Amino acid sequence: MIAVQQATPIPDPLSVPANAPEHCPGTESELAGKADACAGCANQEICASGVAKGPDPALPFVRERMSTVKRKILVLSGKGGVGKSTFTAQLGWAFAADETLQTGIMDVDICGPSIPTILGIASEQVHASSSGWSPVYVQDNLGVMSVGFMLPSSKDAVMWRGPKKNGLISQFLKDVDWGELDYLVIDTPPGTSDEHLSIVTYLKESGIDGAVVITTPQEVALQDVRREIDFCRKVGIPVIGLVENMSGFVCPSCKHESQIFKPSTGGGRRLAQDMGVDFLGAVPLDPRIGKSADYGVSFLDEYPDSPASIAYLDIIDKIRLKLGD
């Protein structure tokens, strides 16, 4: 006999609350509150009553906060270490280069927040005011929120299970005083799990403009990215397009280009074609990108003429164009 996961119908992933037990049938299901799994679940009464199909009490507050945010963009990838956080930072800096625009960056990678380091604000703390938490500002028109600002020490591990992460994400969305924003760019951890479900659940109503999916050229990354695009479709987030990062390396000594992560199955371009999403462009591997990130300086400002900067800016133009801005 061949073992296959999930013989029972798969509940809509968005209708399984963060605190529900493993076999939760989903709050939209006919069995909600009545299934065997519901015994002992904190939501059982509400679910069984069938009335309040459990909208999260935070939702109206999130809606209120987000009403002053024009564009919400997710940066995603199933694979780790492909450059999501780096791309998020470049996108933020590029938007903020226009002084008339207000941009926010929200880092929902709770166990491994890199955004504070990449933006050079790792030692900052968030401050609470009467109107909520104020973001940390990199410059006047670029605000940032990350769990990294809330830890007593950067060495501490954040050993949190799903419901606690869900709680923090809802606070980020309802309690951070972003003010008026033209763009909110959201950096996510790798995978398709609690953080992703939470962010989509909370933002669904106020609308996510789309996701930029990042990959590297080799198959081991592409297979996770296929799953991520599948996820976007399952939960109804439009995919703005795919970016291939670290696509080739130019030796600083002999200028010869080589492929470090060889696209053994056609790379990002082919994947975009196969899955019917737009290919936004390829960013080469440039050691100065990693250094800039470690020192917390803007790569686009430091090396504006490098092929990688040109590629980044071209991709960012395409994103703007697709959003109609």
Partner 1 sequence: MASPEDTPVGRRLQLVKHIIIVCSGKGGVGKSSVSTQLALCLRATSPTARVGILDVDLTGPSIPRMLGLDSHPVHQSSDGWVPVYADGSEARLSCMSVGFLLKRKEDSVVWRGPKKNAMIRQFLSDVRWGELDYLVIDTPPGTSDEHLSLVEHMAPVRSRISAVIVTTPQAVALLDAMKCLSFTRATSIPVLGLVENMSGYVCPCCGEITNVFSTEGGEEMARREGLQFLGSLPVDTELVSLLDAAEPDDQASNAVLAEGGSPHSFRLLELYEKTSTAPLFRAIVERIMNGLSAAESRE
Ligand X SMILES: Nc1ncnc2c1ncn2[C@@H]1O[C@H](COP(=O)(O)OP(=O)(O)OP(=O)(O)O)[C@@H](O)[C@H]1O
Residues 6+ away with beta carbon under 8 Å from 287: 252
**Spatial separation of the C-alpha atoms in residues 159 and 148, rounded to whole Å:** 14
| Half-sphere exposure at residue 206, Cβ-oriented, CA atoms within 13 angstroms | 23
**Spatial separation of the C-alpha atoms in residues 323 and 244, rounded to whole Å:** 20
Task: Convert 21-31 to b/e letters by CB count within 10 Å (16 or more is b).
Answer: beebbbbebeb
> CB under 8 A: which stretch of 49-57, 59-67, 90-98, 158-166 binds partner 1?
158-166
Query: Contact at 8 Å (CB) between 226 and 275?
Result: yes
**Spatial separation of the C-alpha atoms in residues 309 and 274, rounded to whole Å:** 27
Footprint of partner 1 on residues 172-191 (CB under 8 A)?
Answer: 189-191
Footprint of partner 1 on residues 289-318 (CB under 8 A)?
Answer: 290-291, 293-294
Q: How far is the CB of 239 from ligand X (least distance, A)?
A: 17
**Ramachandran quadrant class, 281 (left: phi over 0; alpha: psi -120 to 50; beta: rest):** left
Footprint of ligand SF4 on residues 253-292 (CB under 6 A)?
Answer: none
Kindly tell me which of 43 and 198 has the beta carbon lying closer to ligand SF4: 43
Cα 129 → chain centroid: 26
Q: How far is the CB of 173 from ligand X (least distance, A)?
A: 20
Encoded amino acid at 1, one letter: M
Query: Contact at 8 Å (CB) between 211 and 237?
Result: yes
Q: In the set 27, 43, 86, 146, which binds ligand X (CB under 6 A)? A: 86
Footprint of partner 1 on residues 61-90 (CB under 8 A)?
Answer: 78-82, 85
190 binds ligand X (CB under 6 A): yes
245 binds ligand SF4 (CB under 6 A): no
Footprint of ligand X on residues 252-311 (CB under 6 A)?
Answer: 261, 283, 285-286, 289-290, 293, 308
Residues 6+ away with beta carbon under 8 Å from 315: 243, 280, 281, 283
Site string for partner 1, 192-231 (x = CB under 8 A): xxx-xx------------------x-xxxx-xx-xxxxxx
> CB under 6 A: which stretch of 42-50, 107-115, 185-193, 213-221 binds ligand SF4?
42-50
Residues that bind ligand X (CB under 6 A): 77, 79-86, 109, 112, 114, 189-190, 218, 220, 245-246, 261, 283, 285-286, 289-290, 293, 308
Binding residues for ATP: 78-85
Binding residues for [4Fe-4S] cluster: 24, 38, 41, 47, 251, 254
